[in-house]
Amino acid sequence: MAAPRCSALALWVWGTGERLGSLLTLISKPFCSAAAASRPLDAQRLAERLRAQKQEQKTKKERVPTNPVQRRVQELVRFTQQLQRVHPNVLAKALSRGIVHQDKDLVVINKPYGLPVHGGPGVQLCISDVLPILAKMLRGHKAEPLHLCHRLDKETTGVMVLAWEKEVAHQVQELFRTRQVAKKYWAITVRAPVPSAGVVDIPITEKEVQGQQHHHKMTLSPSYRMDNGKMVRVRMSRNAHVAVTQYQVLSSTLSSALLELQPITGIKHQLRVHLSFGLDCPILGDHKYSDWNRLAPQKLSVGTLKKLGLPQSKARHIPLHLHARQLILPALGSRNEELHLVCKLPRYFLCSLSRLGLEMPSQDPNGDYDTGHLGAQ
């Protein structure tokens, strides 16, 4: 007779929290029959039991932070790590709960933090992988996969447009390419830009960081530079791209600001580069572009760390505070009017606003902002 097998129960739970969710894993202990327990342990089973006991002891020793911000950061770290291990069906279900608009042509989701759009080195799961599953959840088992219309960085949250038909996806992509889509991002920055509103019009190129072989970053490629007090025109790099960003401060303190950003062009990491290297106010949680020469977590002032309730040693866990707040799509297909798409801020973004003393605007001139309780837990 075959030996009774041990079984394990794995349950994935998705808890929503202002569109950011926490992904928790509850794994029950193996259930073994008395007959199996009475048999002598072989080497493999003994090793498995010892590993399980060691893991259990390690879990007990892990200190649960008493500071609520540290707990939220810990949850976020766990959440982003588990997104790469979750079953595709579970991820598709989570995305379906984040739908902000749906019609016969488009599906618009609120993209979570830490989830890549496309596959690549080290990426086990991404949005494009689960589009066939998401389509079946929304339209049945015979549904064709949804199509990506544009992309967002892994660390960026907010409005993401999908299309049912490939032809519609191409039309939307063309609208993005020809700059007919109005885009508004919100970002929390370290320091406030001067002046409080303006346009950054500085080309961007990609360069290898000096002294760090094989590590590249996007950087500014200005047309002019100062030489002995005189302005000298610089020869334009053929790899440089025109990059234009309009910005406006919505709320500010001495050490931080909430900005609305409207990228006129769509160059890789444009907003992050313009803010950090152009305006000297990097985005909170931007550990890549806060310093050109360093490969280290963002260095924050003592006052900012105190407000966030974190020591500098934990600053590496602060997520990028960049949110694709709004898209305005022109009339397309059977739709005769503009489509205004707005995504709520993620929970960690709201909590940071509250802790840093930044105010949420009540309403913009077009009535697109909504008020929210900044202290939402």
Q: Which residues are catalytic?
A: 153
> How many other CB atoms sit within 10 Å of the CB of residue 325?
22
- Residue 322: which of 78, 172, 23, 114 has the closest Cα? 114
Phi, psi torsion values for 365, nearest 5 degrees: -55, -25
Q: Which of 262, 260, 230 is nearest to 246 (CA)?
A: 262
Separation between Cα atoms, residue 311 and residue 229, nearest integer Å: 41
- Write the DSSP string, 239-250: T-B--EEEEEEE
How many C-beta neighbours within 10 Å does residue 144 have? 13
**How far is the C-alpha of 249 from the C-alpha of 260, rounded, in Å?**
6
Tell me the Cα Rg of the chain: 24
**Secondary element (H or E) of residue 175:** helix 166-177
Two tokens at 363? 């309403």
Tokens of residue 58, six digits: 């390690």
Structure tokens at 246: 């309009």
Joined together, the tokens standing for residue 346 give 């993620």
